[in-house]
Structures are given as C-alpha cells and as structure tokens.
C-alpha cells in the first residue's frame, strides 16, 4: 500500500517564515518511494541536486542549484536559477519569476510536483492522490501522447431520408487512469498547453484507423476550441489530407471559436484548397452566429443536442424556430446535422423538421474502426 509522508527539509521554524506556512509540494522523490508531502518551510525555498538545497532532488537531470520558491503573503513565485533542463509550470518552461497557486504543476527537469496548501478551515491538507501516478498529470499525459495510450472511436452520421451512414465522427478514447473521458483528457492537455498536439494526433490516428474502410465513407475530424485557425493548423491538415487519400474529410469547428469574418474566410479558402469541408459544431449552444453562417457558410451545420431534446422538440414554438434556422441554412446551401439524438421520437421529429443528416446514440454509439460496418 502506498503511503504519504510529510517531511520538512532544512526548514526554519514557522515563526521565522510565516508567509510559507501551509504550502507543500506533493510528489515522489524517487520511483521507489511513495508520494511525499514536502513542506515549504523557508523563504526562499531552494531546490536542486546539491545537498545544501532546502529540497534535494535526486535526479541527474536536475541542476545543482535548479530553482527557488518564494512565498509572500498573497503570492507564491517560482524562479528558475539558470538550470540546464528547465523549470516548468503546468508544462510550460519558465525563464522569468512566475506566480503559481494551489493545484499548479511544477516540474524541475524530470521531477514533478503539485503545489498544495493546508486547509486552515478543516485542519487538513490539499487532497493527495492515493497512488502517485494518479497525481502525476505530466506523466499521464506523456503516456497518452508519447506512448500512444489512446484510441479513436467512430460514430455514424446518417442521411435523414434513408438513415444510411454517409460518414463518421472521430472521437478520442483513453485508457490511462483518470483521463478516460475525452473531457478529462482534453482538460488535462489544455492545462499543460498540449491540446493542439493531442488534437492533431487524434486526427492523424483517425485517418490511419479507417484505412481499411471504403474511401467513400466521410470522416468528420474535430478541433480543440483553443486551436488557432491559422497556418500551423492548415499545415497539419495538409498532411492529414495526404494520408486520407480520396476519403471525404470535414473539419468541425466549435461555433464559439469562429474568429472574425476575414480570418474565417481565409481559413475556409485554405481548407477548400485542400479539399476539406467544414462544419460549425454545437450550433445554438452559445450564441447562434447567423452572420458567420451567411457570410462564410460551412458545408455542415451541426445543431447542439440541447436544442433537440424530446421535451424541446415537443414545443411548437421551439420547432418553429428550428424550422426557420434549417431553412436559413438550406438557402445558404448548408447541410444540417441533428446531434445527440437518443430516441426514435427525436429522430422522427428531426426528419420532419427537414434536417439533412442525423447523429446520436439511437442511431449508433461510437465504436472502434474494426466494429464499423464495411461498405
């Protein structure tokens, strides 16, 4: 059973360092040890491989005098001391003194810790994972990204008139503890600044996974809301386009991240040059961007599932609004996709409303590529 130890290394008394009282680093000082809670008892608190540091980090990748932590009344500051392999805050290397707070991830070369603080109200401490690997976010993301510990699942998108699949949406699935859901996975990646990289890897794996299926089956690929719709994304999509061959590709963009019209036109044109379609995803979840729809129409408009729940579809006024939006899209030459359909009643209602395409658990749950029906 893994134990959690609290230690204070070369610390002064709390009366000598009142500002530091209550702050801890949570991590493993060696692979053979359990999770350790290291009290920050001095100001400044020095970390490095050298034995005279307040916290000795036993890794050859850590510099002799690697970093220091300064705790003031209202702030905690991490400073790199010119280390060879760097000090990182939430996955980003720092060169200037950087403010940090409770729950932030600090990495000194290849050793990582979570910054915690005692809970004065309860007399307890910041929650610590029962097992070290559950608290090592950087290590878990390393497993996902560099050790290929994720898979792609595919959910059918069917034509409304005959319910035959015309394409699939690629959705990520992960087996690393604590990151099993796509939401958890991308929240962790975003926290470490790795969301763009993970998103690109998902698109590549989706194309590779479908290699054995008919090239007529369209593939809808997702972007992360934080991804910049610029040259770097276009360059990565060009590689995906080459890998996909003649397979129809559609890139889904969250409606809330659509930039200004000029930038969107340029991005739309670049996608068109690659032979990649575009879909505005989650339409209606936030503000319905009718101007963008009119000025830079997508190929597909995916209506958010919140608009298509059974109780909403039962409302005559709500149905009338949906009909107007669908007609508006049709007038612009845009295909419409009803997402998140979970009942036969919702499917029938959306067909009656005039949606051109449908998607949801009632029509098919996400499955691995080898479980897709081959055409």
Q: What is the pLDDT of residues 242-290, one digit of tens each?
A: 999 999 999 999 866 777 788 889 999 999 999 999 999 988 876 556 6
What pLDDT was estimated at residue 225? 86
In the predicted model, is pLDDT for residue 25 greater than 70? yes
Tell me the sheet residues that pair with 7: 38
210 and 313 fall within a common domain: yes
What pLDDT was estimated at residue 222? 97
CATH number for position 26:
2.60.200.20
Domain membership of residue 146 as a residue range: 141-371
Of 80, 109, 135, which residue sits at a domain end? 135
pLDDT tens for 205-243 read 999 999 989 999 999 999 998 888 999 999 999 999 999
161 and 297 fall within a common domain: yes
114-125 burial string, b = 16+ CB within 10 Å, else e? bbbbbeeeeeeb
Average pLDDT over residues 161-185: 93
Q: Which of 7-16, 177-186, 328-337 has the highest mean pLDDT?
A: 328-337
Candidate from 24-33, 148-157, 206-215, 226-235 with smallest mean pLDDT: 24-33
Give the percent of the chain with pLDDT over 70.
85
146 and 124 fall within a common domain: no
CATH number for position 338:
3.20.20.450
Show the tokens assigned to 166.
């015309």
31 and 167 fall within a common domain: no
Residue 218 near residue 244 (C-beta atoms within 8 A)? no
H/E segment holding residue 265: helix 261-274
Candidate from 127-136, 164-173, 298-307, 356-365 with smallest mean pLDDT: 127-136
pLDDT classification of 32: cutoffs 50, 70, 90:
low
pLDDT tens for 299-358 read 999 999 999 998 889 999 999 999 999 999 999 999 999 999 999 999 999 999 999 999
148 and 218 fall within a common domain: yes
Average pLDDT over residues 60-78: 92
218 and 356 fall within a common domain: yes
Q: For residue 365, what are the contacts with CB-CB under 8 A and spacing of at least 6? A: 155
Average pLDDT over residues 49-69: 95
186 and 124 fall within a common domain: no
333 and 240 fall within a common domain: yes
Higher local confidence (pLDDT), 198 or 285: 198
In the predicted model, is pLDDT for residue 141 greater than 60? yes
Which alpha helices (H) appear in 49-180, and where do they start and end? 132-135, 137-146
Give the percent of the chain with pLDDT over 90.
59
Of 135, 162, 193, which residue sits at a domain end? 135
Q: How many CB atoms lie within 10 A of CB 4?
A: 14
- From the list 324, 323, 313, the residue with the least C-alpha distance to 346 is 313
159 and 304 fall within a common domain: yes
pTM of the entire structure? 0.74
- From the list 167, 168, 160, 165, the residue with the least C-alpha distance to 348 is 160
In the predicted model, is pLDDT for residue 135 greater than 80? no
Average pLDDT over residues 144-155: 91
Q: Which of 24-33, 169-178, 197-206 has the highest mean pLDDT?
A: 197-206
Average pLDDT value over all residues in the chain:
85
224 and 284 fall within a common domain: yes
77 and 211 fall within a common domain: no
Residue 263 near residue 229 (C-beta atoms within 8 A)? yes
In the predicted model, is pLDDT for residue 293 greater than 90? no
| Interstrand relation of 36-39 and 5-8 (parallel, antiparallel or unpaired) | parallel
- From the list 102, 15, 108, 98, the residue with the least C-alpha distance to 56 is 108
Of 135, 153, 181, which residue sits at a domain end? 135
What pLDDT was estimated at residue 255? 65
Count up the domains in the chain and report the number.
Answer: 2
86 and 146 fall within a common domain: no
What pLDDT was estimated at residue 18? 43
């Amino acid at each position: 059973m893994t134990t959690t130890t609290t230690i204070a290394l070369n610390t002064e008394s709390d009366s000598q360092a009142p500002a530091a009282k209550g702050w801890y680093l949570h991590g493993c000082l060696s692979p053979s040890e359990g999770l350790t809670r290291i009290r920050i008892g001095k100001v400044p608190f020095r970390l490095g491989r050298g034995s005279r540091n307040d916290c000795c980090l036993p890794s050859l990748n850590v510099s002799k005098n690697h970093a220091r932590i300064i705790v003031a009344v209202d702030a905690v500051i991490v400073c790199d001391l010119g280390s060879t392999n760097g000090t990182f805050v939430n996955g980003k290397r720092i060169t200037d003194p950087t403010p940090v707070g409770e729950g932030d991830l600090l990495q000194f070369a290849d050793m990582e810790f979570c910054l915690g603080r005692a809970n004065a109200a309860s007399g307890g401490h910041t929650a610590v994972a029962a097992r070290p690997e559950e608290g090592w976010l950087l290590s878990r993301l390393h497993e996902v990204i560099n050790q290929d510990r994720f898979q792609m699942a595919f959910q059918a998108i069917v034509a409304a008139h005959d319910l035959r699949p015309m394409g699939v949406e690629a959705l990520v699935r992960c087996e690393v503890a604590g990151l099993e859901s796509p939401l958890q996975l991308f929240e962790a990646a975003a926290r470490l600044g790795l969301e763009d990289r993970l998103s690109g890897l998902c698109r590549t794996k989706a194309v590779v996974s479908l290699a054995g299926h008919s090239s007529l089956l369209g593939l809808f690929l997702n972007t992360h809301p934080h991804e910049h719709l610029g040259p770097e994304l276009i360059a990565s999509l060009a590689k995906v386009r080459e890998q996909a061959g003649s397979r129809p590709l559609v890139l889904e963009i969250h409606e809330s991240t659509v930039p200004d019209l000029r930038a969107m036109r340029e991005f739309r044109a670049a996608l068109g040059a690659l032979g990649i379609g575009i879909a505005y995803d989650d339409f209606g979840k936030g503000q319905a961007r009718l101007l963008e729809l009119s000025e830079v129409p997508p190929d597909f408009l995916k209506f958010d599932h919140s608009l298509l729940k059974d109780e909403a579809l039962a409302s005559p006024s709500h149905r009338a609004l949906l009909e107007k939006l669908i007609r508006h899209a049709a007038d612009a030459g845009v295909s419409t996709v009803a997402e998140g359909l979970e009942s036969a009643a919702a499917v029938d209602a959306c067909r009656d409303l005039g949606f051109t395409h449908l998607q949801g658990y009632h029509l098919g749950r996400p499955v691995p590529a080898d479980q897709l029906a081959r055409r």
